[in-house]
Amino acid sequence: MSRVILQTHDLTVRFGGHVAVDHVSCAFKTGELTAIVGPNGAGKTTYFNLISGQIPISEGRVELNGRDITRASVSQRCDLGIGRAFQLTNLFPNLTVLENVRLVIQQRAKLGFSFFSMADSHSEITDRALSVLDKVKLFSLKDQAVSALSHGNQRKLEVAMLIALDPAVYMFDEPTAGMSVDEAPVVLDLIAELKAEKDRTILLVEHKMDVIRTLADRIIVLHNGALAADGDPAEVMASDVVQEAYMGKELTDV
Amino acid sequence: MIVKLLSGDTPRSKILGAILLMILVALALAPFLFPGIRSVDTAARICVFILLVASYDLMLGYGGIVSFAHTMFFGMGAYGVALASTHMGRGYDALIVGAVAGAVLAAVVAFLIGLFSLRVRAIFFAMITLAVASAVAVLVSQLSGLTGGEDGLNYQIPRELTPAFKFGGEVMGVKLNGKLLNYYLVFGGSLILFLVLLRIVNSPFGRVLQAIRENDFRAESVGYRVVNYRTAATCISAAVAALAGSLYAIWLRYVGPDTVLSFEIMVDILLMVVIGGMGTMYGAVIGATVLVVAQNYLQELMEVASNSVEGVPLLPQLLDADRWLLWLGILFILSVYFFPTGVVGRLRAGK
Amino acid sequence: MSDPILKLEGVYTDIAQYHILQGVDLEVPRGGVTMLLGRNGVGKTTTLRTVMGHWRAKTGKVLLDGQDITTLPTPQIARAGVGFVPENMGIFSDLTVEENMILAAVSGPIDPARLEWVFSAFPPLKTFWKGHAGNLSGGQKQMLSIARAMVEERRLYLIDEPTKGLAPAIISTMARALRELKEQGASILLVEQNFSVAKALGDSCVVMDDGRVVWSGEMAELATDAGLQERLMGLSMEAHQ
Amino acid sequence: MSAAPKHAPTMAKMSFADKIGPWLPMLLVPAIMVLGLASIPSMSSWLTLTVSGLAMGMMIFIMASGMTLVFGLMDVINFGHGVFISVGAFVGVSVLMVLASMTEAPSLVLNLLAVLLAIIAAAIATGGLGWAFEKVIVKPVYGAHLKQILVTMGGLIVVEQLIVVLWGPEEIYILRPQALQGAITFAGAALEKYRLVAVAVGLVLFLGMRYVLRSTKIGLIVRAGVENGEMVEALGYRLRLVFVGVFVAGSALAGLGGVMWGLYQEVITAHMGQQMMILIFIVVIIGGLGSVEGCFIGALLVGLLQNYIAFIEPKAALISNIALMVAILMWRPQGMIPVVKAK
Amino acid sequence: DIKIAHVYGKTGPFEAYAKQSHDGLMLGLEYATGGTMEINGEKIVVIEKDTQLKPDNGKALLAEAYGDDEVDLAVGPVSSGVALAMLPVAEEYEKILIVEPAVADSITGENWNRYIFRTGRNSSQDAVANAIALGGENVKIATLAQDYAFGRDGVAAFKEALANTGAEIVSEEYVPTDTTDFTAAAERIFNAMKDVDGTKKLFVIWAGGGNPMSKIQAMDPSRFGIEMATGGNILAALAAYKQFPGMEGATYYFYENPKNEINDWLVKTHQERFGTPPDFFTAGGMAAGLAVVEAIKKAGGTDTEALITAMEGMEWDTPKGKMKFRAEDHQALQSMYHFKIKVEDGVDWAIPELVRELTIDDLPIPIRNGK
Ligand SMILES: Nc1ncnc2c1ncn2[C@@H]1O[C@H](COP(=O)(O)OP(=O)(O)OP(=O)(O)O)[C@@H](O)[C@H]1O
Ligand SMILES: Nc1ncnc2c1ncn2[C@@H]1O[C@H](COP(=O)(O)OP(=O)(O)OP(=O)(O)O)[C@@H](O)[C@H]1O
Ligand SMILES: [Mg+2]
Ligand SMILES: [Mg+2]
């Protein structure tokens, strides 16, 4: 059973005169994986930012489960079930890998304002964190400081933190960028697994076509901030808009 | 048991552990180990400053919040006791009312400042606290009818806490009098509150603070309401600072702007935190001890040094006891140079 | 082939107490694109940073055009004609796009003709010329980072994962730009995860694993030998198109 | 499927508020002047207060200019800035005392020449001191604000004490050069002649700094270097050299400020610079980090407002500067014309 | 031995004053003992303690001096704030503290206790002396002072003393202590005095740095017929008085003014040893030193009660002539000097030439300790 969980109505943001997201109306259903594609600077990340509340909305509304969350703060939206991973890695650099994930789970468990318990005594939280790390194959690095991780591993941790958050709506922003060909599948498999659980809503920004082809139920195309196409993957991919503005000429023709 | 008292946060370095133990013993037995008015006074100051600096470390080292208003909170506690003792007359009720009122006021003011300005950038928060603190200092100086202005207040505390109260004779050559009781009140109070702080920084709350210090943007986006956490940290820190001020006021039986509100004390606190090691709590112990001792005894040391180099050109002038500040300054620089992560950080790294 | 423009001989690099590079031997032939491939965390970035002097080789030598630059200060390495596009892009986000580019033109004002050429590869930079670089989209930042290296002629370019976050259309213009650089006589050492880009651009190729070079040779050889790919990089054809 | 894509990004018309926003700070100074006019009954008082307030602002700007470079651009909080002002004053005043024959002559040219020589000497001395400061004290703590505060505070104490060792603990009183004493009166208003010199120096300095920062890459290199020094070096700039240079320049400017301020106060002490620090911080911060223009406007605002408020309601003068800072930060949390994002 | 502690702010902004004060104290002891530094065969030992101008330090150090070092009495400090913190310590240890040169009235006023004596002048003495020097029929005075307790008390005392002279205060201006720009205050004063008739004077009470005098002078107050006036100051500060030839006021000490043997000796000896004439705080320190010796001699020892008895009402000679500890509040009554500024070439400072010595009898100093 799938129902609409997240909906944007005429969502718009302007930076000075520049309309980065231009009246985008779109609905997302549970159990559905929507890929968002578009040229660089099309407004994909900004669209995410508007949904998760990172930047204030100029016009329009965001609804979650029928509730208007346009004015809600980032952390409130997170509590309501919107979670995201960032395009540019964004972690707690001087804490360990484990601590990074633990912090997320601890917030889920609403333990943040516990002043007098000992943090390390909450073993159920540590256990969950370790199991998440295991899933993304970072278990062996759990005691490393994040700043010492290679780029690819930081990307994996970014994904791990989103999975640890376990929100209703997952937003991945180019999760595999900079990941090597043998590592990327680990993350993609995880996303596929989430999708299989049916009640998750997944939004995925990706530039790699093969990934989109295998994972996406639906594609929306943003172009110059506006919604340029929305529909079945194969159909959208074949359209002129996408071919011309986005794919460019095939690499081999260069 | 000990580990539990320390909230699982052990010194994690043998040398550090040994030093801390030494300081603890020295402070616990100060009146007997170092009899003499001045040395006990120094010990009491060390206790108060350990607590004050630890409370600052909660905010700065763990929360990453730079505030210049810490002496203001310190002062609120001190003036609380002073004013209560002045107006309610000498008595324990005055001490308690003063201390509680001071702590509550400090927390409320911290809350208001936090609500207003913790949203802005760190450096601006620092400037706003500086502004508020100096406005309060002006206020204290202006309301001289109430606060004694620049001259401060002298007041009476319960007789049992003053040298005039004698019980028993002497133990190990130390007179058993109210001053001794007063010292142990300061020592005990500081110790308990320090352990409480240690517990707080090792709680889930403490971890969140660290995360916010690292990356507040990210903390917000995994669902922590950053402003609330920062405000809470500021309030706790302010309240504890106020309690430290109350202890100081009980010990000194005098408060005045130079003693509890001046910017110099703020600088001392910063220095103690950094020399000791930020974000470690134990750094407060080391930093406060080193600095208070230096401030009190460097001059004497230099007197000796200066006399021993008499006849050498310029050196005696530089070593003149009146130039102690010069050497304290050099000490500042050297300590930041050689202990970039503080003494505690250094000891832990080299374990 | 003539002598290489860049040569690493037995380079060991430590970061803190970790031994990251463990004897890297590598040659970048003059006037070609050399791909540096390998899994995550094997030391590709560290290799580039060691050449730039951000990390220092503990033992071993780095030779640029025969000159030993192992211990040269970073600015001098750069001025010896090395352009660098770091993995994290190194954008100055407080500065505008224009100011980023002005800084990148070390030897004087920007040559307008060359700038036009850069714009033709990365049109968005022209659009956001006066905007703060920190506000650019991820891909636009990547473009700026590459554009900065291209704005003046260099002998050698070290480029770390330039295509991450770029849309396919831009990837192909970028690839064209890199080819033009090569035609101008520059040499390029390129770290890349996108194998089809590597295949299309690379002349020769070096594969690293665990802090060492484990294979080097012609790109064409690797591109056609699936077994070799599988062995060196865990790459399998089905994971890729 | 919707319309075929075009390549230019969508642009909307900017609202009036968006357009005027960047210019608002420039309007603040005249706005405050008009407000002052409205609330001060006597025209001649208003004139006196306004002119001398602007001149005082210039003097504050001169002292703060070095801070703008060092704190604003390099992101180094130099608490020792104040002591550079003091050193500048002591060196400058010593030079002036040696040149007594020139300062006591009733010749404007000779007087100004003496002041110029004093300024040069002071700038050389503080510049040199700044060089040593950077090498020894500041270099290890780039990027760490708190440590900067502490080490520079240490440096401050050391230098302050050295002043006492060299010049003795007494305050030194001096008189301004003959031709710069007294005031000129016009339209019932009086303006100290010396303030005119300050205005001239301040303007020259302002234009000079603007010119250097706009027409060379130095400002860019420093700002970029603070964010990512490694990358600046990888582009081929010797960042260390630039940083040292800017720090030295900032220190020399403090020295200049010291001479100007010492001659204004006519009494110098080792603490004199330190006493100005809060005001200098306020000016730099409300101006917006790294902005010479902001610093300039901020200084003028402070100068004017101080005078107006002290005239209208002396009690409020106690906190007028602080109130100004809080108000501006509430309006623009980054300061009026931020060039660099504050951390 | 006779042990004396000198507890004072050796380091910090008042360093210069502190040095004078200590030199004076030592010179006083030397003069009074004829150079032997002994009283009745007992050696005088002076222990120095540095409060760093911090009241809490002052308290601790004084306690240490009385308790650990077991001194017989203590002298100091420079700053009033520190002094006020120290007063209860003397009471607690039941030992004498001779306050010199802190000036706050409340030291011998509301915060006084019987162990406190003061050789230094108090603010009232300054205020009353200046009122006498400036006052007169048809004199209209504006005051400018720092906006905190010291400044306000000073003006209040001045005003009170002025009441008997026929002069009138027309405007009181207070500015923050850290004020550097006095344009606004001056403008307010000018506006207030512009249309007043009579002899118009602007009296400035200012402690510490900042220098309102010459800045206001630069705005040409004579346009409105206003003359500047202020009290005396240390020699270094008198340099700035060169702009005010003919200005009148009252001062605590200037080395040429008192004519007596002790002062002659002081000026000569100081000149020999330090190469400069003695200053404000040298004279004060010396007066304290002389008082100590005189009191111990008179009491026949160092017993506190005996000392108190001896000192109450004690008269002794100082560089400023005769001083007398008033029995009620232990304040030393002393002469002040009405001066007129003379500028001479080749002298580093302006000379406050003596107009009239205001003796103890000329100066009605109120008793403020409620006794
Ligand atoms: N804070 C901001 N201020 C001004 N412009 C902004 C801001 N944030 C984004 N932009 C502009 O909005 C446009 C959309 O940016 P966005 O990051 O959403 O692109 P994107 O679709 O995610 O691109 P990419 O694939 O390169 O990541 C860009 O042109 C960018 O320059
Ligand atoms: N600052 C550091 N401190 C400690 N270890 C580090 C640091 N930086 C990198 N490393 C380690 O060095 C190894 C090599 O890292 P490097 O960044 O060179 O890998 P890479 O090949 O570029 O990987 P990727 O493809 O993920 O970017 C990694 O194992 C990483 O954990
Ligand atoms: Mg994006
Ligand atoms: Mg890498």
The CATH number of whichever domain residue B164 belongs to comes to: 1.10.3470
Output the pLDDT for position B138: 85
- The predicted-structure confidence for B281-317, as pLDDT tens digits, reads as follows 999 999 999 989 988 888 778 777 777 777 777 777 7
Rg from Cα positions in chain A: 19
> Considering every ligand atom, which ligand is closest to the CA of A157?
2
Identify which of A174, A156, A167, A139 has the alpha carbon closest to the alpha carbon of residue A91: A156
pLDDT tier, B4 (very low <50, low <70, confident <90, very high otherwise)? confident
Residue C1 pLDDT greater than 60, yes or no: no
CB B193, CB A69: distance < 8 Å? no
The response to whether residue C93 sits with its C-beta less than 6 Å from ligand 1 reads: no
Output the pLDDT for position A1: 54
CB A37, CB A228: distance < 8 Å? no
CA distance D78 to D150: 9
CB E289, CB E24: distance < 8 Å? yes
pLDDT tier, D267 (very low <50, low <70, confident <90, very high otherwise)? confident
CA angle E356, E360, E362 (to 5 degrees): 55
Question: What's the mean pLDDT when you consider all of chain C?
Answer: 87
The response to whether residue C18 sits with its C-beta less than 6 Å from ligand 2 reads: yes
Name the residue among D4, D8, D13 with its Cβ closest to that of A17: D13
Identify which of B276, B270, B272, B271 has the alpha carbon closest to the alpha carbon of residue B345: B276
Output the pLDDT for position B120: 66
Q: Which atom of ligand 1 is nearest to the CA of A39?
A: 25
- The predicted-structure confidence for A194-232, as pLDDT tens digits, reads as follows 888 878 899 999 888 888 888 888 999 888 888 888 888
C126 vs D: CB within 8 A: no
The response to whether residue A180 sits with its C-beta less than 6 Å from ligand 2 reads: yes
- The bridge status of strand A67-68 relative to strand A59-64 is antiparallel
- In the sheet with C67-68, reading across from the earlier edge strand, the strands are C18-28, C6-15, C57-64, C67-68
pLDDT tier, C241 (very low <50, low <70, confident <90, very high otherwise)? very low
- The predicted-structure confidence for C44-101, as pLDDT tens digits, reads as follows 999 999 999 999 999 999 999 989 999 999 999 999 999 999 988 899 998 999 999 9
State both tokens at B221: 């986006």
The response to whether residue A150 sits with its C-beta less than 6 Å from ligand 2 reads: yes
Q: Which residue has the higher pLDDT, A169 or C39?
A: A169
- The predicted-structure confidence for E251-310, as pLDDT tens digits, reads as follows 999 999 999 999 999 999 999 999 999 998 999 999 999 999 999 999 999 999 999 999
Q: Which atom of ligand 1 is nearest to the CA of D9?
A: 29
Residue D7 pLDDT greater than 70, yes or no: no
Got the DSSP string for E15-68? HHHHHHHHHHHHHHHHHHTTTS-EETTEEEEEEEEE-TT-HHHHHHHHHHHHHT
Amino acid identity for residue E65 in this structure: A
E92 vs B: CB within 8 A: yes
Output the pLDDT for position E190: 92
Q: Which residue has the higher pLDDT, C9 or A119?
A: C9
Output the pLDDT for position A50: 93
- The bridge status of strand B174-177 relative to strand B166-171 is antiparallel
Output the pLDDT for position D5: 39
Q: For residue E77, is the peptide bond before it cis, meaning its omega torsion is within 30 degrees of 0?
A: yes
Q: Which atom of ligand 1 is nearest to the CA of A15?
A: 4
Report, as an integer, the average pLDDT of E65-84: 90
Show the DSSP H helices in chain B as ranges. 2-5, 14-28, 30-33, 37-57, 70-88, 92-117, 122-142, 144-147, 178-201, 204-214, 216-221, 226-252, 257-260, 263-276, 282-308, 315-319, 324-338, 342-349
Residue E180 with chain D: CB contacts under 8 Å: 56, 264-265, 276
CA angle C151, C155, C156 (to 5 degrees): 90
Output the pLDDT for position C238: 42
Output the pLDDT for position B340: 81
Question: Which residue minimizes the CA distance to atom 29 of ligand 2?
Answer: C41
What is the dotted CATH code of the domain comprising D57-331? 1.10.3470
The total of other beta-carbon atoms located within 10 Å of residue B161's CB is 24
Report, as an integer, the average pLDDT of E21-38: 94
- The predicted-structure confidence for C98-157, as pLDDT tens digits, reads as follows 999 999 998 888 999 999 999 988 888 998 899 889 889 888 898 899 999 999 989 999
Name the residue among D182, D185, D311 with its Cβ closest to that of E184: D311
D200's CB contacts (< 8 A; 6+ apart) are: none
Output the pLDDT for position C198: 86
CB D234, CB C86: distance < 8 Å? yes
A110's CB contacts (< 8 A; 6+ apart) are: none
Amino acid identity for residue C56 in this structure: R
Question: Which residue minimizes the CA distance to atom 8 of ligand 1?
Answer: C135
Report, as an integer, the average pLDDT of D71-98: 92
- H, E, C per residue of A90-138: CCCCCCEHHHHHHHHHHHHCCCCCCCCCCHHHCHHHHHHHHHHHHHCCC
- The whole-angstrom distance between A233's CA and the closest CA on chain B is 30
**Structural domain spans, chain D:** 57-331
C4 backbone dihedrals φ, ψ, rounded to 5°: -70, 150
Question: What's the mean pLDDT when you consider all of chain D?
Answer: 87
Got the DSSP string for A218-236? EEEEEETTEEEEEE-HHHH
Output the pLDDT for position B118: 64
SS3 (DSSP) at B255: strand
SS3 (DSSP) at D300: helix
Output the pLDDT for position C34: 93
pTM of the predicted protein model: 0.88
Contact A17 D1 (CB under 8 A): no
A160's CB contacts (< 8 A; 6+ apart) are: A101, A132, A133, A135, A136, A138
CA distance A114 to A126: 16
Contact B254 E55 (CB under 8 A): yes
Q: For residue D338, is the peptide bond before it cis, meaning its omega torsion is within 30 degrees of 0?
A: no
Output the pLDDT for position C2: 62
* Chain B stretch 182-201, residues whose beta carbon is closer than 8 A to a beta carbon of chain A: 199-200
What b/e readout covers B295-329, taking b as 16+ CB neighbours within 10 angstroms? bbebbeebbebbeeeeeeeeebebbbbbbbbbbbb
Name the residue among A224, A240, A241 with its Cβ closest to that of D9: A224
SS3 (DSSP) at D216: coil
CB D226, CB D71: distance < 8 Å? no
Residue E6 pLDDT greater than 90, yes or no: yes
> Considering every ligand atom, which ligand is closest to the CA of C15?
2
The total of other beta-carbon atoms located within 10 Å of residue A250's CB is 12
Output the pLDDT for position D2: 33
Output the pLDDT for position A252: 41
CB B80, CB B63: distance < 8 Å? no
pLDDT tier, A250 (very low <50, low <70, confident <90, very high otherwise)? very low
Question: What's the mean pLDDT when you consider all of chain B?
Answer: 87
Output the pLDDT for position D20: 73
The response to whether residue C17 sits with its C-beta less than 6 Å from ligand 2 reads: no
Q: What percent of chain D has pLDDT over 90?
A: 41
Out of A196-210, B112-126, D55-69, which region has the weakest mean confidence (pLDDT)? Answer: B112-126
Polymer length of chain A: 254
Output the pLDDT for position E32: 94
Identify which of B32, B5, B15, B50 has the alpha carbon closest to the alpha carbon of residue B291: B50
| E67: closest chain B residue by CA | B37
CA angle E238, D183, E167 (to 5 degrees): 60
| B256: closest chain E residue by CA | E55
10 Å CB burial of residue E319 (0-12, 13-18, 19+) is buried
| B342: closest chain D residue by CA | D147
Write down the ipTM of this complex.
0.85
For tokens 């709680």, name the residue. Answer: B203
Q: What percent of chain B has pLDDT over 70?
A: 97
Residue A106 zone, left/alpha/beta (φ > 0; ψ -120 to 50; rest): alpha
**A140-154, D136-150, E244-258: range with highest mean pLDDT:** E244-258
Name the residue among A151, A182, A249 with its Cβ closest to that of C234: A182
Query: Per CATH, which fold does A1-81+171-183+205-254 belong to?
Result: Rossmann fold (3.40.50)
- The whole-angstrom distance between D14's CA and the closest CA on chain E is 43
**Class of the CATH-defined domain C6-90+154-240:** alpha beta
Contact A118 B221 (CB under 8 A): no
Residue D247 pLDDT greater than 60, yes or no: yes
Identify the contact set of chain D against chain B, taking CB-CB distances under 8 A.
136-137, 140-141, 145-147, 149-151, 153-158, 160-162, 164-165, 278, 281-282, 285, 318-319, 322, 325-326, 329, 333-334, 341-343
SS3 (DSSP) at B153: strand
**Structural domain spans, chain A:** 1-81+171-183+205-254, 90-166
Report, as an integer, the average pLDDT of D204-221: 91
Output the pLDDT for position D342: 63
**Structural domain spans, chain C:** 6-90+154-240
Output the pLDDT for position B185: 95
Output the pLDDT for position D64: 94
pLDDT tier, D343 (very low <50, low <70, confident <90, very high otherwise)? low
CA distance C106 to C94: 19
Q: What percent of chain E has pLDDT over 90?
A: 60
- The whole-angstrom distance between B138's CA and the closest CA on chain E is 9
Q: Which residue has the higher pLDDT, A89 or D4?
A: A89
Residue A254 pLDDT greater than 70, yes or no: no
Report, as an integer, the average pLDDT of E95-122: 92
10 Å CB burial of residue E27 (0-12, 13-18, 19+) is buried
Residue D170 pLDDT greater than 60, yes or no: yes
CA distance C13 to C23: 8
Contact E92 B144 (CB under 8 A): no
State both tokens at A213: 């082809």
Question: What's the mean pLDDT when you consider all of chain E?
Answer: 91
- The predicted-structure confidence for B254-276, as pLDDT tens digits, reads as follows 998 888 998 889 888 988 998 89
- The predicted-structure confidence for A18-35, as pLDDT tens digits, reads as follows 888 989 999 999 888 999
Q: What percent of chain A has pLDDT over 70?
A: 96
Residue B150 pLDDT greater than 90, yes or no: no
Counting DSSP H helices and E strands in chain C, the numbers are 10, 10
Output the pLDDT for position B80: 95
> Considering every ligand atom, which ligand is closest to the CA of A206?
1
What b/e readout covers A196-208, taking b as 16+ CB neighbours within 10 angstroms? eeeebbbbbbbbb
Residue A170 with chain B: CB contacts under 8 Å: none
Q: How far is CA E39 from the centre of its chain?
A: 28
Report, as an integer, the average pLDDT of E29-47: 93
Alpha-carbon separation of residue E107 from B135, E79, E90, E100, E369 (angstroms): 28, 11, 12, 11, 9
- The bridge status of strand A33-37 relative to strand A59-64 is unpaired
CA of A52 to the centre of ligand 1 (A): 15
CA of A159 to the centre of ligand 1 (A): 21
Output the pLDDT for position A112: 80
Out of B37-51, C222-236, D197-211, E234-248, which region has the weakest mean confidence (pLDDT)? Answer: C222-236
CA angle C64, C70, C71 (to 5 degrees): 130
CB D181, CB D174: distance < 8 Å? no
